[in-house]
Amino acid sequence: MKKFVISTAAIVLCLAGLSGPAAAIDFTDSLLGTAQRAVESELQRKVDQESRRAVRCAMGDTACVRTAEARGDTVELVESPGRPAAGGSQPGDVPGAQDHPAVSRYPGSLIKWHDTQAFNPYAIATGPVTGYRQIDEWTEAEGRLTRVYYELEGDKTHTEVYANYKRALEEEGFEFIAQGLFPQSNRTPAIGSRTWLEVQYRRNEIPPVGLRLLAGSSTSGGSGFLAARKARAAGTIYVAIGIAQHAQDIVATLVDVIEVDEVKTGLVTVNAEAMGNEIDEYGRVTLDGLFFDHDKATLTSASKPALDEIAKFLKSRGSMNFYVVGHTDATGAFAYNKSLSERRAAAVAKELVDRYGIKASRLEAHGIGPLVPVFSNSSDGGRTKNRRVELVERP
């Protein structure tokens, strides 16, 4: 800021030339007013300079770049107006990691963790926290899940990162289903608060170590969350972004992208004849093609083709009785998983009785949680295979 310096001698000389006390007072007031206006003007100039937003110039648009730089603006290169340039992978990223094509990174961020699953359920909270680790309003999705965790070091804040992601999603035509930003640490139940984020990511688990989104000194920083969706010919795409100021110079961001493939969902199912062969040889069969809402015992509409075939098989073996057995992976508490497996098995049996007319006495539902895995729970693919419902021959 420019300094405004006036010597005492100069003021005395000026006052000496005035005709009286009143004139001297008026002159002093005028002088102080001039100084104050100069200070305010300089402060406003600084504020305007600091608050100036980055100018988004399309790659190759040299005229835009020159104009922005001449004004002292920060230039952000984009592939086209409104879309940040895709970063792919960059030096400093963990090996094999890259941005999702639909959502670029904030400039300067590095990928510290990533994970991709070909088909996985995901839940997006769309309402406030209503109780201990509880949110009542959720949007469920399932499909290809890509998770990319970034860390940004430097003087940028989580509010700047949040604003950029929000603007990018808006300009790409996404519809927001949840959003909330807190500049400072906040424990309210509202969307985007730290308390809220803990529930969101308790349901969509993240690694317990290595990610600083909810860890360490982030308790003293603000946080935010954005979730949006967009309909495409290939299926709806969902984007969920959690952001936290981990430390004064570190912003942590987790970008989750769920791509729902409407065409392929539900095509893999069981076949009545094949089920009979499995039962005859092994005494049990896995009921492929059954889909549940994430972490619930509610069958989705995509399960109908499989249920049709299961009912067809049961009617062809009218003299046989069966156990309907639910299984889970090993993620989470044993008691909870056992309960979930029981409820899912019961839901399948009830659907077969209520909708297809199978006698209730022929089906007995049980759940054994993670006790009988068919693959190792150390991989995503193994955990997916272990989450299943089986039909087991009963005497």
Q: Mind listing the pLDDT tens digit for each residue in 264-309? A: 545 555 789 999 999 999 999 999 989 888 778 999 888 899 999 9
Sheet holding 250-259, edge to edge: 110-125, 138-153, 250-259, 237-247, 221-230, 175-184
Instruction: State the alpha helices, DSSP H only, in the chain.
Output: 8-16, 21-51, 62-71, 158-171, 194-203, 272-282, 304-316, 334-356, 380-386
Q: Look at residue 185 in the predicted model and tell me its pLDDT.
A: 87
Over the stretch 9-37, which tens digit does the pLDDT of each residue have?
444 444 445 455 555 445 445 544 555 55
Mean pLDDT score of the chain, rounded to an integer?
A: 81
- Domain residue extents for the chain: 8-51, 86-259, 272-394
Residue type, 110: L
Q: Cβ contacts of residue 6 below 8 Å, gap of 6+?
A: 31, 35
Could you read off the pLDDT of 202-218 as tens digits, one per residue? Answer: 999 888 777 899 875 54
Q: Cβ distance 152 to 255 under 8 Å?
A: no
Report the C-alpha gap between 242 and 8 in whole angstroms: 57
pLDDT bin (cut points 50, 70, 90) of residue 349 is very high
What distance in Å separates the CA atoms of residue 287 and residue 275, rounded to the nearest whole number? Answer: 8
H helix and E strand count, the chain: 9, 15
SS percent in the chain: helix, strand, coil, step 5: 35, 30, 35
Nearest-angstrom CA–CA distance, 307 and 87: 44
Predicted confidence at residue 65, as pLDDT, reads 53
Q: Is a pLDDT exceeding 60 seen at residue 87?
A: no
pLDDT for position 277:
93
Contact 351, 307 (CB under 8 A): yes
Task: Give the per-residue pLDDT at 302.
Answer: 83
CATH architecture entry for 86-259: 3-Layer(aba) Sandwich (3.40)
Task: Please compute the mean of the pLDDT values over residues 332-347 and round it to a whole number.
Answer: 94
Pick the residue with more confidence: 392 or 270? 392
Q: Percentage of residues in the chain with pLDDT exceeding 90?
A: 56
pLDDT of 258 strictly over 90:
yes
Stretch among 5-9, 179-183, 238-242, 370-374 having the lowest mean pLDDT: 5-9
Per residue, what are the HEC states of 260-308?
Answer: CCCCCCCCCCCCHHHHHHHHHHHCEEECCCCCECCCCCCECHHHHHHHH
For the domain spanning 272-394, the CATH number is: 3.30.1330.60
Residue 326 and residue 341 in contact, taking contact as beta carbons nearer than 8 Å: yes
**Cα(148)–Cα(256) distance, integer angstroms:** 7
- CB distance 150 to 112 below 8 Å: yes
**What is the per-residue pLDDT across 97-118, written as a single tens digit (0 to 9) for each?**
999 999 989 999 999 999 999 8
More confident residue, 317 or 217: 317
Q: How far is CA 221 from CA 105, 182, 217, 235, in A?
A: 21, 9, 7, 37
CA distances from 118 to 115, 261, 382 (A): 10, 11, 12
Q: What is the pLDDT of residue 44?
A: 46
Q: What is the mean pLDDT of residues 66-81?
A: 54
Most confident of 44-53, 174-183, 227-236, 323-332: 174-183
Q: How far apart are CA 61 and CA 350, in angstroms?
A: 63
